[in-house]
Amino acid sequence: MPVTDLWTELKSADKKIVLYGTGNGADKIIACLERHGIAVDGIFASNGFVRDREFHGIKVRSYEQIKEEFGEFIVLMCFGSSRVEVIDFVKRIMSENEFYLPDVPVYGDIVFDSEYYLNNVNRFNAVEAKLEDSISQKTYRDIIQYKLSGDVRYLFDSETTENEEESIIELADNSILIDCGAYNGDTVRKYKRVYGNKLSRIIAVEPDKRNYRKLCAFAENMTDVFPINAAVSEADGKVILQDNTGRGVHIDGNSVFDKERENTVDVMCIDTIAEKYMTDGTDIKDILIKFDVEGNEVKALNGARKLIENRRPKMVVACYHRNDDMFRIPETVFAIRGDYKLKIRHLPGLPCWDTQFYFY
């Protein structure tokens, strides 16, 4: 079956190409367009973000101004969002013009084009064969089709509900949660709501100093929550990170460091955390680990090797930070222990962020 991709299609497009949004995502998309010899003809922003400014030497205008000048054109969205008003605006644009949201990796430099897919098709097929249900198989295929085409209809078509997603993994009484990438406590709050008193202990791991302070404030009166200011990887050590980077803190660092925001943070592997917080004689039934560690998921899984081998924890693993996460994460887990069941789900939002593997 012939496989094509968005970048190839855009090279032969006969309409003006316009970007929706500015910032880091737009930088990445412009770089991909330039590699393929594709020019950008205009840029627009949401109302309230237009202002009197330029981006990459192009004046930022409103959608209405772009419509007035070009008539029909191709829109490339350059940022992610799950906000209802943004999704509604996207659907309006889609009803009026060709619309795509190019897939560019959050971390790493692998572009998911047809060559990349064909070079790894056997690995994708092997993961799909291990998926436990038809919803997972369809979701997996839809995400691959989205990554190739940039067509967000594949994402809309693969969305699941929060209630359905939360029902995938069941826990027994007296279980433990290890929350890797705990941010300000939002996922601790979620899992407390989902599992209630079944969670006897929650170890919440967050590397960013400001996020960690918020996490500690959130957990201040909770005797069952143990915050740890650390990054998670395959071995213990130290790493220099930038504080105040928002939700995402990447352990491999940023391309440009602000010396005033540097902070040395502990790096811990899950096996070390388990030895410290799970050896008090408590009769632990189930262990749930949530991995959302900004592209460091494979290393973090390798740092949980002993726990996976000996205790078979249930795991929720984000798989949208790097394009090879779509096969490397399952390959890593099944290489350690082959008796897991596997599902994948995508929660509402653009692009395919909030997409996770479930090992149980």
Q: Using pLDDT thresholds of 50, 70 and 90, give the confidence band for residue 262.
A: confident
Per-residue model confidence as pLDDT tens digits over 209-227: 999 999 999 999 999 999 9
Which two three-digit tokens encode residue 104? 């560019």
Number of alpha helices (DSSP H) and beta strands (DSSP E) in the chain: 15, 16
User: How much is the mean pLDDT over the chain?
Assistant: 94
pLDDT digits (tens, 9 = 90+) for 9-33: 999 999 999 999 999 999 999 999 9
Residue linked to tokens 């316009």: 18
Rounded distance between C-alpha atoms, residue 206 and residue 190, angstroms: 16
- Cα gap 53→125, rounded to integer Å: 46
| Burial class of residue 114 (count of CB atoms within 10 Å of its CB; 0-12, 13-18, 19+) | middle
Q: Is the Cβ–Cβ distance between 4 and 12 less than 8 Å? A: no
**Burial level of 52, CB count in 10 A (0-12/13-18/19+)?**
exposed
Quote the radius of gyration of the chain (alpha carbons, Å): 22
pTM above 0.75, yes or no: yes
In degrees, rounded to 5, the angle at the alpha carbon of residue 20 between the alpha carbons of residues 17 and 24 is 110
Q: What is the pLDDT of residues 39-79, one digit of tens each?
A: 999 999 998 889 899 999 999 999 999 999 999 999 999 99
Among 72-81, 115-124, 155-164, 256-265, the least confident range: 256-265
59 within 8 A of 92, measured Cβ to Cβ: no
Q: How far apart are alpha carbons 343 and 340 in whole angstroms?
A: 10
For residue 282, the model assigns a pLDDT of 72
The Cα–Cα gap between 27 and 217 comes to 36
Query: Which position has the token pair 């064909």?
Result: 118
Strand pairing class (199-205; 225-228) = parallel
Confidence of residue 249 (pLDDT cuts 50, 70, 90): low
